[in-house]
Structure 1
Amino acid sequence: MARGYRFELVKLVSQWRIRLLLLVCWIAPALFVAAVSRQSSLPVDTLFGRWMHATGWAGPLVTLGFAGSWALPLLTSMVAGDVFASEDRLGTWRHLLVAVRSPRRIFAAKTLAGLTVILLLFAGLVCSSTAGGVVAVGDQPLPGLDGHLLTPGDAAVKVLLAWVCVLAPTLALAAVGLLGSVALGRSPMGLLLPALVALAMQLAQLLPLPVAVRLALPGYAFIAWNGLFTDPVQLGPLLISLAVSLLWAVTATALAYRLFLRRDFTNPAHDGAGRGAVATAVLPLVALMAVTVGALAPTSTGTGSGIEQKKVQRAVATAFAHLYRLQTTQLHRPAVTEKQLKASAACTKGDVSDDAKGPGNDWRCVVSWHLPGVEATGSAIYQLDITADGRFLADGDGPKEVNGYFLVRTPTGDEPNPLWQFDGTVGLLATP
């Protein structure tokens, strides 16, 4: 087994495209994060993009968002999607069987070698993006998705946990790649299968799906790490998505193993492709999806899209209170606590003022707060764009002194206004 594993690992690493991927994953993220952090125009349309100039811990999270959408699916396609199909293209199965004399050892060696390369690529993305951010910007505190400030130590731990959580859906895509490589043989569809599955799951996440269906998709774990950066942590959706991803990984790997052992290696024209192989690979995953949705439907307390008026109001008011304190520190005003502010939000969606639900860019919130010793109630207006997965962007709409301009005048000069625009997340499951 050890010899077979080393042999397969050497075959993978000797390919020029794998070497190029390793080089890119260990160098490119650091250069990207360092370069973007020094620009005046930041990627504010991505989570934590607006904080890349303020803390080095925002860079690896921006990289994580890009990796979950594009990089990791493509990497798993290039490695796992080709690890078995390459033998079909070269016609070397019979030679390999003569040398190893065990289909089981061949499958295990190829699977472990592919997993090793994927982990090396994954580690490169983590280490490179983190090093680029910390070296270029520094080890400063990081504002969370509800505005509360994370110390550098807490930020480091949560950034690492977020990357570890994304490893579960990466393994699920790698298992799908193994299954496609075995079932489709030399067909190029096996190589593209993980990327196509990831793209389909991304498109599904854009739709206003019920909460149970959304959580039953293994790709939801690529965005469920957002819950780590709220207080309290939104563990429910995260743990469910991790369990679903690992279940998909185990099921797809078991199906690939079963198909591989049933293959006829004595026929050079047989490459594993066929209607029977495709049906054997696809139908169990469809059944798994149906069973997962059925299991989550009665247990999840969220209904419909999970985006409800009370949740939106609570999320906006909480984030505003935390960020107001940050602005107070910038302006060197007397310190105030969230309890003293008593911030609240009244939100409407279009013409619906009571029991508004669902995603959209027509949400409008009026935030009110109180300052100690001041009788007048402060108020600020925000326009919200809430996506189907619960993420929202709050855009300040006045007054100018609070959130109507992207800079605030401080005793040390102009600084970015934390209340002008901020990102947040609405928990899709009901919380007390």
Structure 2
Amino acid sequence: MTAATVESRAPAARPVSVPRGYRFELVKLLSQWRVRLLLLVCWIAPALFVAAVSRQSTLPTDTLFGRWMPATGWAGPLVTLGFAGTWALPLLTSVVGGDVFAAEDRLGTWRHLLVAVRSPRRIFVAKALAGLTVILLLVAGLACSSTAGGLVAVGDRPLVGLDGRLLAPSDAAGKVLLAWLCVLAPTLALAGVGLLGSVALGRSPMGLLLPAVVALVLQLAQLLPLPVAVRLALPSYAFIAWNGLFTDPVRTGPLLISSAVSLTWAVLATSLAHLLFLRRDFTHPVQDGAGRRARAAALLAPAALVVLTVVVVAAAIPSAGSGIRQDKVQRSLATAFAHLYRLQARQFHRPDVTEARLRATAACTKGAGRLAAQGPGNDWRCVVSWHLPGVDATGQAVYQLDITADGRFVADGDGPKDVNGYFPVHTRAGDAPNPLWQFDGSVDLLSTTPKG
């Protein structure tokens, strides 16, 4: 009787708190050799890459801001950001988020963990927070390392924006920081997909690869001539929406929409992973991950999220076209040319002329006039005209444009030689890159009316 009374008065075991579980899971992640290697690479390799490329004559001109790497240290982190959004961040979320739960299945340690923590809900929260912390450390390493490499190799110099406007170093620094912060939203979306795959697929390699596979499919979709609403409804667009920060005025519409879509993906994917984790039977000796129905639901979840976000965004943006129209291309090209013309004038120490007095305009055709002047393609041809005060003749320059489906274009000069015919220009201080030889620009896919 006494023994029974003492036993009934024994305090019940309390679950381990989330902070303690989080510290435990974080230590486990950081003790893995592959995570340590990724941290080392992300905090060192970008600086070495940016510093080395900035000193080379051959530049990654196919990457946004690549041609400006020898001119300013703020171009390096943007080139790294373009590469990270395409390849690095999807792979990092796969290695970390896609394995944070599956590792317990491989090691067979779920029962030990449940006995120690005594709360599946707290285990999920601790693991998700630990994985998110490591991912943020990796992203911070890419950003800080590439910025340090650029500033040390080239220096804190002005940056040319996508509209040709020269950004002061302080302004460029703020926009670079904001651009890296903007890609956190799609990174969280892929991390949520990684958690879902890790919970539902267990030790299966597909769980580890799910974020990378989803990211690859979404990036391939961005290469297609999709309607604007569909393009913005994919979280992969958030990896390139930061381009709108480097125009004047800043294009906040695509950036906010794509960020909202990415955060929606992150919340829904993580919530589904949490639900599947709580419903899992950990007492089964051979069961690995969720049941068959749950696995099928997890694999179909990305497709369901695409349908959901496309329907919502399409209802909010009544636009069925590509967003690339003749008037938009002409306006963007003329604006960029006017700003870059002033930059070239400073190189030759010519009298400064404002953009308003230049009155630069552009006339563009597609397919030598045989095709409708809209949509992406490398067959755009434009003639830019401008006027100088006190000069009766109208200046003209020809450009061949390659416009991608996301609105970015590369304008390649096709004469006259004294304006855009050569890459280097001879100045009093020596040879310098010709800003009008070849330059990047961007078309606002959401704008509907001409800007005054």
Give the TM-score normalised by structure 1.
0.98
Residue of structure 2 in register with 1:293 after alignment = 310
Q: Report the Cα distance in structure 2 between the residues aligned to 1:122 and 1:193, rounded to whole angstroms.
A: 20
Give the TM-score normalised by structure 2.
0.94
Q: 5+ unaligned residues in a row in structure 2: which ranges?
A: 1-17
The answer to whether structure 1 residue 88 and structure 2 residue 100 are counterparts is no
The answer to whether structure 1 residue 172 and structure 2 residue 189 are counterparts is yes
Relative to structure 2, which stretch is displaced further, 296-305 or 115-124?
Answer: 296-305
Code of the residue aligned with 1:394 in structure 2: it is A
Matching residue within 244, 254, 259 for 1:227 = 244
The answer to whether structure 1 residue 256 and structure 2 residue 273 are counterparts is yes
Note if contact 1:216-1:292 (Cα within 8 Å) is conserved in structure 2. yes
The answer to whether structure 1 residue 106 and structure 2 residue 123 are counterparts is yes
Residue of structure 2 in register with 1:206 after alignment = 223
Note if contact 2:229-2:318 (Cα within 8 Å) is conserved in structure 1. no
CA-CA distance at 1:431 after TM superposition:
4.1
Instruction: Give 1 or 2 for the bigger CA radius of gyration.
Output: 2
Matching residue within 131, 149, 152 for 1:135 = 152
| C-alpha spacing 1:284/1:202, structure 2 compared with 1 (3 Å) | closer
Per-residue CA deviations over 1:157-197 (Å, capped at 9, x if unaligned) read: 00000000001000000000000000101100000111111
Per-residue CA deviations over 1:401-424 (Å, capped at 9, x if unaligned) read: 000111111122221100000001
| C-alpha spacing 1:354/1:78, structure 2 compared with 1 (3 Å) | closer
Matching residue within 60, 70, 73 for 2:90 = 73
The answer to whether structure 1 residue 237 and structure 2 residue 254 are counterparts is yes
The answer to whether structure 1 residue 313 and structure 2 residue 313 are counterparts is no
Q: Report the Cα distance in structure 1 between the residues aligned to 2:444 and 2:59, rounded to whole angstroms.
A: 26
Q: Report the Cα distance in structure 2 between the residues aligned to 1:284 and 1:74, rounded to whole angstroms.
A: 20
Residue of structure 2 in register with 1:391 after alignment = 408
CA-CA distance at 1:88 after TM superposition:
0.5
Q: Report the Cα distance in structure 2 between the residues aligned to 1:313 and 1:301, rounded to whole angstroms.
A: 23
Residue of structure 1 in register with 2:69 after alignment = 52
Q: Report the Cα distance in structure 2 between the residues aligned to 1:191 and 1:290, rounded to whole angstroms.
A: 24
Note if contact 2:214-2:302 (Cα within 8 Å) is conserved in structure 1. no
Note if contact 1:406-1:416 (Cα within 8 Å) is conserved in structure 2. yes
CA-CA distance at 1:3 after TM superposition:
1.3
Note if contact 2:100-2:127 (Cα within 8 Å) is conserved in structure 1. yes
SS across alignment from 1:232: coil
The answer to whether structure 1 residue 340 and structure 2 residue 357 are counterparts is yes
Residue of structure 1 in register with 2:49 after alignment = 32
Q: Report the Cα distance in structure 1 between the residues aligned to 2:302 and 2:52, rounded to whole angstroms.
A: 42
SS across alignment from 2:362: strand
The answer to whether structure 1 residue 61 and structure 2 residue 84 are counterparts is no
Residue of structure 1 in register with 2:9 after alignment = none
| C-alpha spacing 1:298/1:277, structure 2 compared with 1 (3 Å) | closer
Per-residue CA deviations over 1:310-340 (Å, capped at 9, x if unaligned) read: 1000010000000000000000001000000
Code of the residue aligned with 2:322 in structure 1: it is S
Code of the residue aligned with 1:155 in structure 2: it is A
Q: CA RMSD in A?
A: 1.2
Note if contact 1:91-1:268 (Cα within 8 Å) is conserved in structure 2. no
Note if contact 1:180-1:190 (Cα within 8 Å) is conserved in structure 2. yes
Q: Report the Cα distance in structure 2 between the residues aligned to 1:55 and 1:237, rounded to whole angstroms.
A: 27
SS across alignment from 2:417: coil
CA-CA distance at 1:273 after TM superposition:
4.6
Relative to structure 2, which stretch is displaced further, 416-425 or 284-293?
Answer: 284-293
Q: Report the Cα distance in structure 2 between the residues aligned to 1:157 and 1:257, rounded to whole angstroms.
A: 36
Matching residue within 386, 401, 405 for 1:369 = 386
SS across alignment from 2:84: helix
CA-CA distance at 1:355 after TM superposition:
5.1
Q: Report the Cα distance in structure 2 between the residues aligned to 1:408 and 1:105, rounded to whole angstroms.
A: 63
Q: Report the Cα distance in structure 2 between the residues aligned to 1:62 and 1:284, rounded to whole angstroms.
A: 32
Note if contact 2:76-2:146 (Cα within 8 Å) is conserved in structure 1. yes
CA-CA distance at 1:21 after TM superposition:
0.5
Q: 5+ unaligned residues in a row in structure 1: which ranges?
A: none
Note if contact 1:302-1:428 (Cα within 8 Å) is conserved in structure 2. no
Per-residue CA deviations over 1:196-241 (Å, capped at 9, x if unaligned) read: 1111111000000111110010010000000000011111111000
SS across alignment from 2:420: coil
Identity level (%):
79
